[in-house]
Structure 1
Amino acid sequence: MAQSHPRGRFRFLRVATAGIISLYIGLTAYEHQESLIRALISPAVRLLPAKTSSNLALLACKYRLFPASKYKDNVNLNSSFFGRHISNPIGLAAGFDRNGEAVHGLKDLGFGFIEIGSVTPLAQKASPRPRVFRLSDDRAIINRNSIDSDGHQAVVQRLRRLRETDGFDAVVGVNLEHNLSSRTPISDYMSGVKTFGPVADYLVVNYSNAKGKRHSTSSKKQLIELLEAVNTARSQLRPNRYGKVPILLKLSPDMTLDEMKDVASVISMSTCQVDGLIVANATMVHKNVSGSRWLREKGALSGEPLRQRSTAMIAQMYQLINNSVPIIGVGGVSSGHDAFEKIEAGASYVQIYTAFVYEGPELVERIKSELSMCIAEMGYENIREVVGSNYQQYLPVRATGSK
């Protein structure tokens, strides 16, 4: 059987993508667009390559083509978020909207907070294709993409324009990274703090994402140097109306117990304080996936195969830091029950990414509804009461009884 010509495949993808975009635009004027998006558009998007479908979804959010959520968050989901009030603890993880192009449209979907990035100081191109692989049977994604970023100046201008928009009240965090070519990565993080501190609701130091080195790991000494530097950079900023901009540290699920203990020790130092942790990023270890090909494929694995591992690490860090700072739990969340488990394990908030790529905007409402029911059924009045309430159950076996 003759193989299709690459140029022909490319032409087909362009036509298919254009057709689906046209459907999106047409449906925005249709009365029952939510059910049609679920029935027609989401399956059509899944026929496209993973990166193409993700870009298409981002485009739809950018131009606010998805219908705004009409779901009213139950009061049992209300919480405080580093000095801000949020109506629910479900956020979008970094990686979907890398350059802050679609924040308005994402806010329409009902997220409690949105994290953009990772953002590098200088513009940086993506890796050659193919770089994103969809593992549909495992509800997972493998991403071997270097960070494609428009750079600090382009992204901060977008955020400034958002802040100047009447009625804009979304909670927006910025995930900071260094350029791959940088010889002074710590300076890159300091630049990110100075650039985005005045316009972001929180900043994330992406310590988890030492591509290719995850997680051999950056030493304790290097972590001290990094956190001292970003704290120094923050001290030079004027506080906003909520105080100094919160700084969070994002961790890799591939860390050893000793490395986690090092993190707990370092962030307890007065010169290295952070306001929260994000646990955890995607993993370089391809366990719990079907098919030998994916065991050998290079790249970061996210989605369902990471869920239990991430939850165990949340419980471990919750214990190690003695609940001293809030944790944002991320990794394999695709239901309200998954979110509830992460909160029981010690997370105060939860982020989604891979499941959102698979299931589309209706997932946000479903997770919130299911989480609200879990809270009520377990006899709690508010999500805050659940945080860490059962963390011992989720501790990895090796850590049971550790101090």
Structure 2
Amino acid sequence: MYPLLFRTLLTRFDPETAHHAGMLVIRLAGIWPFSWAARALTRPDPALRTSALGREFASPFGIAAGFDKNAVGAYGLGALGFGHVEIGTVTALAQEGNPRPRLFRLTRDRALINRMGFNNRGADAASRRLRALRARTDRPVIGANIGKSRAVEVADATADYVRSATLLAPLADYLAVNVSSPNTPGLRTLQAVETLAPLLSAVKDAAGSTPMLVKIAPDLADDEIEAITRLALDLGLAGLIAANTTISRDGLTTDAATVEACGAGGLSGAPVRARALRVVEIVRATAPDPRFCVIGVGGVEIAKDVRALLDAGATLVQGYTGFIYRGPLWARQINRGLRAG
């Protein structure tokens, strides 16, 4: 039913408009009695429970940052079967992001290109939402993903991240530091170890007892991934998220003119699956201790894809683009596939 709806109706709308419409349905799924009905249909099997980051996850499969930027749909996403929800990316300052259009479907490739630019209402607004969510005992595990405000110079990034961490870390189950989006000028330069070390150290101090992870790009060289993983271990971080969207356009079947017309942005979905798997393998080989949490992200659409990342060493797995192509019962499909083996 959903594939037919996607082909005949949703593709007629701008992808960002369709996303906002879908979020209204997701928010409705978090309101009783709809939440009760959704949970009855999608609740993960108890056998999928996973312990990580000092928390108990109903399933190892969660929704990646970027889907719920402002923590408005987290409860509904949990009701739809996601074991955790990573909200954001949140910046210290509210910002509009890049001009529209900024989200594009590559349907033949089961992929998206986005250059959203961290559009969000800011850390103050997100903290209010997280405080309300924290009071609910039946919510999913919630992570807060933070990034650099566009108006802040790269040289001043540390203070900007620290402000977001100070507001959000006490209210989140874990904190994710995003230094790898391709859509904020200069952001990826922060991944250089000599720059990243003082930034992560300062943010970790601000995060206090909240587990903290760093999210990296798949476009890094293998030795750079190893170096960042060792840095995370040296600093006592709880883990690493592998990986963000890619700036590569290799291997696409969509015609080159269409891809070029989309312009700059991060590519997600099926084309990044192989690289995401390799990044997880590198991280886990560098950090073999299972207490170091590796969250695998990239190219997952069916349970087999999630299982591949788990087998490669991921503790947890996240998805986003597959939701666009699979619809509201996506987490249920993944969880049932994982349970079936």
1:256 is matched with 221
Give the Cα–Cα distance (whole angstroms) in 2 for the partners of residues 126 and 62 of structure 1: 23
1:311-346 C-alpha deviation (Å, 9 max, x unpaired): 011101111222361111110100000000001111
Aligned: 1:194 with 2:194: no
* Partner SS for 2:310: helix
1:25-68 C-alpha deviation (Å, 9 max, x unpaired): xxxxxxxxxx6x67647842232111111111112112328751
Aligned: 1:101 with 2:72: yes
1:242-284 C-alpha deviation (Å, 9 max, x unpaired): xx21101101000012211221231232xx2210111001001
CA gap of 1:42–1:292, structure 2 versus 1, over 3 A, is closer
Instruction: Note the C-alpha offset of 1:216.
Output: 5.6
Correspondence 1:3-402 to 2 at 5 A: 40=5, 43-64=8-29, 68-69=38-39, 70-165=41-136, 167-183=137-153, 184-209=156-181, 211-213=184-186, 215=188, 218-235=191-208, 244-269=209-234, 272-290=235-253, 291-293=255-257, 295-296=259-260, 297-323=263-289, 325-374=292-341
Task: Assess if the C-alpha contact under 8 Å between 1:215 and 1:255 holds in 2.
Answer: no
* Partner SS for 1:68: helix
Instruction: Note the C-alpha offset of 1:152.
Output: 0.8
* Partner SS for 1:268: helix
Give the Cα–Cα distance (whole angstroms) in 2 for the partners of residues 54 and 179 of structure 1: 23
* Partner SS for 1:137: helix
Instruction: Note the C-alpha offset of 1:227.
Output: 1.3
**Paired residue type of 2:202:** A
**Paired residue type of 1:251:** I
CA gap of 1:216–1:163, structure 2 versus 1, over 3 A, is closer
Q: Could you tell which deviates more after superposition, 51-60 or 88-97? A: 51-60
**Paired residue type of 2:264:** K
1:17 is matched with none
Give the Cα–Cα distance (whole angstroms) in 2 for the partners of residues 60 and 71 of structure 1: 15
* Partner SS for 1:288: coil
Instruction: Supply the RMSD in Å over aligned alpha carbons.
Output: 2.0
Task: Assess if the C-alpha contact under 8 Å between 2:242 and 2:279 holds in 1.
Answer: yes
Task: Assess if the C-alpha contact under 8 Å between 2:175 and 2:207 holds in 1.
Answer: no
Give the Cα–Cα distance (whole angstroms) in 2 for the partners of residues 226 and 332 of structure 1: 29
Instruction: Note the C-alpha offset of 1:81.
Output: 2.5
Higher relative contact order (CA 8 A, sep 6+): 2
Give the percent of matched residue pairs that are identical in Structure 1 and Structure 2. 34
Task: Assess if the C-alpha contact under 8 Å between 2:75 and 2:139 holds in 1.
Answer: no
Structure 1 or 2, whichever has the larger Rg, is 1
**Paired residue type of 2:193:** K
Give the Cα–Cα distance (whole angstroms) in 2 for the partners of residues 149 and 68 of structure 1: 27
Report the number of matched residues. Answer: 328
The alignment's TM-score, normalised by the length of structure 1, stands at 0.77
Give the Cα–Cα distance (whole angstroms) in 1 for the partners of residues 79 and 8 of structure 2: 22
The alignment's TM-score, normalised by the length of structure 2, stands at 0.90
Give the Cα–Cα distance (whole angstroms) in 2 for the partners of residues 53 and 372 of structure 1: 31
* Partner SS for 1:175: strand
Give the Cα–Cα distance (whole angstroms) in 2 for the partners of residues 52 and 92 of structure 1: 19
